[in-house]
Amino acid sequence: MSFYAYAKIEDPKKFRDELFIAWNALDALGRIYVAHEGINAQMSVPADQLEAFRDTLEGYEFMRGIRLNVAVEQDNHSFLKLTIKVRHKIVADGLNDDTFDVTNKGVHLKAQEFNDLLEDPNTIVVDFRNHYESEVGHFEGAITPDVENFRESLPIINEQLQDFKEDKNLLMYCTGGIRCEKASAYFKHQGFKNVFQLEGGIIEYTRQIKEEGIKSKFIGKNFVFDHRLGERITDDIISKCHQCGKPCDNHTNCSNDACHLLFIQCDECKAVMENCCSTECLDITHLPLAEQVKLREGLQVGNKVFRKGKSDALKFKTSGDSSVQPLAKAQTKNIRKKITVKKVLLGKAEHYYTKSKIAQFFD
């Protein structure tokens, strides 16, 4: 599940410690960011502890009655540890909140309302996730910025849409809604007149379309920030294996501990390459463990693990160029007529990986 709340927190470190003690006792796992401006959480909670977990939230006035975005695909091991980090902001947006009214947000839309506005020819829809997220799934016709992080997408989209401030509907979405909370206020401050956002993001949208029998306008997978790396929303496969070009939307991390590059790999390439991104990494994994450790000494991988479609080792890496791609299907026995979707990509790319460690505090 995921949830977020903007609030004024006087002592984020104290708040973090209280949450860790309470949630660790419930065997909850996940990754949580807290800051003076609020909380942003992605978690896994045992079903028999859910009510007790809700009680811990009710203990804070700003989290009473908070909506929990529950995952479409349940998994008992979505997270490997409980990590709570104190950060400057709960979302790295690069904005100075003192320069505009962060409470002047866009109109929140439910699933059917979002679909209806999406059909309006006067609407521009923007995906405010990173490129590796939209590569495996996005709404039909969405602008999918090819950016490294959320803060890069804001000025890029603002520049691209300067001529449409007055007369177009600006429709935006993200994974759980938190990025759009700030983005919608930012774009209204920039002069956009008709700003709308998907309430609860893709996660809540998926829940609503399943419960209400609404046709999905989202195609493919919704990338998630745990070891699953994706929840399937439709059978459409809109991406390809970065090694052979076969239709595929399964993210993985290179097995070489000195690399951990996040990329898309089909089952056949996974078997041949033993979950590695290159022959160089494959050769390293065959070395004795002590020799592998020695090779990693002093090596700073840093954000290189996030450069999934940019590695020269990947023949079918994402170029960032605009393209028209046919869709494949996850279930080949139900092949339908191919659909063509135009993707507009802007900027650069970033990727995410998970690695098991012991539970710990971070400042």
144-182 as b/e: b if 16+ CB within 10 A = bbbbbbbebbbebbbeebeeebeebbbbbbbbbbbbbbb
Handedness of CA 74, 76, 78, 79 (dihedral sign): positive
Per the CB < 8 A criterion, the answer to whether 1 and 44 are in contact is yes
CA 203 – CA 192 distance, rounded (Å): 26
Q: Which residues pair with 307 in a beta bridge?
A: none
Among the listed residues 271, 277, 232, the one whose alpha carbon sits nearest the alpha carbon of residue 253? 277
Per the CB < 8 A criterion, the answer to whether 259 and 301 are in contact is yes
C-alpha to C-alpha distances, 361 to 33, 59, 357, nearest whole angstrom: 11, 22, 12
CA 110 to centroid of chain Cα atoms: 20
CA 245 – CA 248 distance, rounded (Å): 8
The tally of CA atoms less than 13 A away on the side-chain side of residue 230 is 25
Active site residues: 174
